[in-house]
């Protein structure tokens, strides 16, 4: 992807896009396209201390300036302060190239500076490498780090800082109140320390829009100066880390090359030719991370603020690991969650503080069955499932059949009911204080579609493994009850929830799972009617609306305060991930023909443009329900990326269509 000056004709325009680099353990580096900090989650080094959790901002940014012997100075940095001041270094930005790693080219008179940024895989280390091609005047290139030490969800003021600085050879060590310290060096640079120096009042425009604390101070320990002779070309590497190894032993160029080669190998392993798919293969890599507590892989739900969630992991599983050829990672992820099966459930969330996981999800465990079935379909490795996972699947089924926590249980009609008025157990789980925004306790449509799918998968596995099939009879009863109870004859689609208050006729995307899983619980003409209803009232180019526009509760724009945003989260806001199941259903209902697959390409093509907007190379969590469907939420969401990639590879067979 290449970008030119039309992408940053103003500071605000330059902040509309964001890039993301990750380190495979939950840490990341992320700024705007013009390398400004536009949200509190931005930073050159956001580390983790308990992978993949406990994220801390250590290096916010680097101020980049150049001075000349005749007194001329120029800044290449871009930022805004709370007073409204804008530093316009972006005006010197010539172009940005973002293929494997982001690369920025600045120019000023007869000087060119190329900047490339990389993280070190498996480490809390970031490298910013500059190639300075000087002009006819002697110059001094100055790099001033902006240091912090706080939880990435928060902001800091100078009054909070208690930093101490040590200068050891070429390495600068800065420690604060926390256990970790940040160390950095610049090769060929001379460091001058400052006393009690701070960058005040950096403005985060995104946080202001979200109604949150939007200004922050940073500590300035000093400045590196690098002298550059006339017409000299010099490579300067800034390395920052919280790791304890010898910093001077790191070869910055080798780290950058190693990371680029690793990403190229991921593309080779996936073997995909379609350009959107290749970009999503790289995006998928950012979500697959190492979890310290299980010594295996898990999935970050979204950047910049989510950690690993069970529901998101299972929905994202096939697209992130199987469609990309990462079969060993797939095994690791299945094993990770098998170790945490409890109460017949898998965790909904692993908290940031590393404590015990939360099990407040009824659907995460049911998506686990779909993930297992997909794993066998891709790898043919049924022995691994039989020896390591099958017992967990049986425990989950027993939990649902006999009843478990959160009032989750199968009723006499074979349908699953879950929760109460005070709990949120489905993916539409927004809750503000005591306000349950979308109450869906009882028999939810997608939960019972997933339950039927799980029973059919278990029936197939029992037969494969020579076990007693106690599942097919339950599945038959579940299907019969589902088709009887959930069919909404008036609207020719499915009810969303059934409980003691009646049958909820709100038209939502949840019903797409009744026709978009491995084993559809509805078929024939009713399936066609469901597809048509979803298409007519919920479909957008970037996903499915969470509520029909015809509903009085519909919210077409996701913005405002936390309360306003939570109130719109599942009330009309567009979600990308259900679109993958919509595509699967569309192709299946239309006979799986080549023409159906070619038609389905039109559901994928809008993302060719989107991966160049918002979070570069990735797909956002949500979009406004109203035109122009502005991207919102996390700028890089695992299940958004995975379901578009899975549908393109698995359902459409995009490379085979040419």
Domains in the chain: boundaries: 2-261, 271-657
The pLDDT tens digits for 542-582 are 999 999 999 999 999 999 888 899 999 999 999 999 999 99
For domain 2-261, say whether CATH 2.70.98 is its number.
yes
- pLDDT, position 210: 87
Cα 517 from Cα 450, distance rounded (Å): 8
The pLDDT tens digits for 245-267 are 988 889 999 999 999 999 999 99
User: What would the mean pLDDT of 165-185 be, rounded to a whole number?
Assistant: 87
User: What would the mean pLDDT of 123-139 be, rounded to a whole number?
Assistant: 97
- pLDDT, position 432: 79
Mean pLDDT for the chain?
Answer: 95
CA atoms within 13 A on the CB side of 513: 26
Give yes or no for residue 354 having a pLDDT over 70: no
Tokens of 81: 């302060």
User: What would the mean pLDDT of 51-80 be, rounded to a whole number?
Assistant: 96
Give yes or no for residue 610 having a pLDDT over 60: yes
Long-range contacts of range 560-568, CB-CB < 8 Å, 24 or more positions apart? 560/211, 561/210, 561/211, 562/210, 562/211, 562/212, 562/432, 563/432, 565/210, 566/430, 566/431, 566/432, 566/437, 567/430, 567/432, 567/437
* Confidence class for position 393, pLDDT limits 50, 70, 90: very high
Determine phi and psi for 320, rounding to 5 degrees: -75, -40
The pLDDT tens digits for 435-464 are 888 999 999 999 999 999 999 999 999 999
Give yes or no for residue 613 having a pLDDT over 80: yes
Give yes or no for residue 352 having a pLDDT over 60: no
- pLDDT, position 592: 97
105 beta partners: 95, 114
Give yes or no for residue 350 having a pLDDT over 80: no
Q: Angle at Cα 463 formed by Cα 461 and Cα 469, nearest 5°? A: 90
pTM of the model: 0.96
Tokens of 148: 């912090």
Give yes or no for residue 384 having a pLDDT over 70: yes
Q: What is the dihedral of CA 417, 421, 427, 430, to 10 degrees?
A: 180
The pLDDT tens digits for 235-246 are 999 999 999 998
Q: Please give the CATH number for the structural domain made up of 271-657.
A: 1.50.10.10
* Confidence class for position 357, pLDDT limits 50, 70, 90: confident
- pLDDT, position 349: 81
Q: Give the SS3 label for residue 208.
A: helix
Share of the chain above pLDDT 90, in %: 88
User: Could you write out the DSSP letters of every residue in 326-392?
Assistant: -HHHHHHHHHHHHTT-BTTB--SB--TT--PPB---SSHHHHHHHHHHHHHHHH--HHHHHHHTHHH
Determine phi and psi for 474, rounding to 5 degrees: -65, -40
- pLDDT, position 353: 60
Domains 2-261 and 271-657 share a fold: no
Tokens of 267: 């593309």
Cα 168 from Cα 553, distance rounded (Å): 62
Q: Give the SS3 label for residue 14.
A: helix
Tokens of 550: 């015809």
Cα 36 from Cα 496, distance rounded (Å): 43
- pLDDT, position 293: 82
């Amino acid at each position: 992807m290449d970008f030119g000056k039309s992408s940053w004709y103003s500071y605000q325009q330059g902040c509309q896009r964001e890039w993301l680099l990750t380190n495979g353990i939950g840490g990341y580096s992320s700024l705007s396209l013009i390398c400004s900090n536009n949200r509190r989650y931005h930073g050159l080094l956001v580390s983790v201390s308990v992978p993949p959790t406990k994220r801390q901002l250590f290096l916010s940014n680097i101020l980049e300036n150049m001075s000349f012997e005749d007194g001329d100075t120029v800044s290449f940095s871009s930022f805004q302060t709370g007073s409204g001041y804008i530093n316009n270094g972006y005006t010197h930005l010539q172009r940005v190239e973002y293929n494997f790693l982001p690369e920025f080219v600045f120019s000023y008179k007869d000087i060119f500076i190329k900047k490339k940024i990389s993280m070190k895989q498996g480490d809390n280390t970031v490298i910013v490498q500059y190639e300075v091609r000087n002009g006819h005047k002697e110059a001094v290139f100055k790099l001033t780090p902006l240091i912090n030490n706080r939880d990435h969800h928060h902001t800091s003021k100078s009054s909070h800082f208690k930093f101490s600085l040590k200068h050891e050879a070429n390495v600068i060590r800065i420690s604060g109140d926390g256990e970790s310290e940040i160390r950095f060096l610049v090769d060929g640079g001379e460091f001058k320390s400052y006393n009690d120096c701070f960058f005040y009042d950096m403005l985060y425009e995104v946080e202001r829009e979200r109604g949150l604390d939007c200004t922050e101070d940073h500590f300035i320990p000093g400045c590196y100066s690098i002298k550059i002779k006339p017409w000299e070309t010099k490579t300067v590497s800034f390395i920052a880390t919280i790791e304890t190894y010898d910093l001077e032993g790191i070869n910055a160029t080798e780290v950058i090359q190693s990371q680029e080669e690793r990403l190229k190998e991921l593309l080779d392993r996936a073997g995909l030719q379609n350009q959107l798919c290749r970009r999503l293969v790289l995006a998928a890599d950012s979500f697959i991370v190492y979890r310290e507590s299980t010594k295996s892989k898990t999935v970050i739900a979204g950047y910049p603020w989510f950690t690993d969630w069970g529901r998101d992991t299972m929905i994202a599983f096939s697209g992130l690991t199987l469609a990309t050829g990462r079969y060993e990672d797939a095994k690791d992820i299945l094993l990770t969650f098998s170790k945490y099966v409890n109460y017949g459930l898998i965790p909904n969330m692993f908290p940031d503080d590393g404590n015990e996981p939360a099990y407040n999800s009824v659907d995460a465990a049911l998506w686990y069955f779909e993930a297992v079935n997909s794993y066998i379909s891709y790898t043919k490795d049924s022995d691994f499932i039989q020896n390591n996972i099958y017992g967990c699947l049986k425990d989950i089924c027993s939990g649902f059949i006999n009843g478990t926590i959160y009032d989750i249980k199968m009723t006499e009609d074979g349908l699953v009911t879950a929760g109460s008025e005070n709990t949120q157990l489905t993916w539409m789980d927004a809750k503000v204080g005591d306000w349950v925004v979308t109450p869906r306790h009882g028999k939810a449509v997608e939960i019972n579609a997933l339950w039927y799918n799980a029973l059919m998968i278990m029936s197939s596995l029992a037969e494969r493994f020579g076990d007693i099939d106690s599942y097919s009879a339950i599945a038959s009863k579940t299907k019969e009850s589902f088709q009887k109870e959930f069919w909404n004859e008036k609207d020719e689609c499915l009810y969303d929830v059934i409980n003691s208050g009646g049958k909820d006729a709100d038209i939502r995307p949840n019903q797409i799972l009744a026709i978009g899983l491995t084993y559809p619980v509805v078929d024939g003409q009713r399936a066609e009617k469901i597809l048509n209803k979803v298409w007519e009232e919920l479909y957008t180019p970037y996903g499915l609306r969470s509520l029909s526009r015809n509903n009085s509760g519909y919210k077409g724009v996701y913005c405002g305060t936390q309360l306003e945003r939570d109130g719109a989260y599942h009330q009309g806001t567009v979600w990308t991930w259900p679109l993958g199941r919509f595509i699967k259903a569309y192709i299946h209902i239309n006979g799986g023909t080549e023409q159906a697959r070619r038609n389905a390409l039109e559901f994928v093509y809008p993302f060719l443009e989107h991966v160049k907007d918002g979070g570069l190379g990735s797909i956002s969590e949500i979009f406004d329900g109203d035109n122009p469907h502005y991207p919102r939420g996390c700028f890089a969401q695992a299940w958004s990326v995975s379901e578009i990639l899975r549908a393109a590879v698995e359902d459409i067979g995009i490379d085979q269509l040419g």
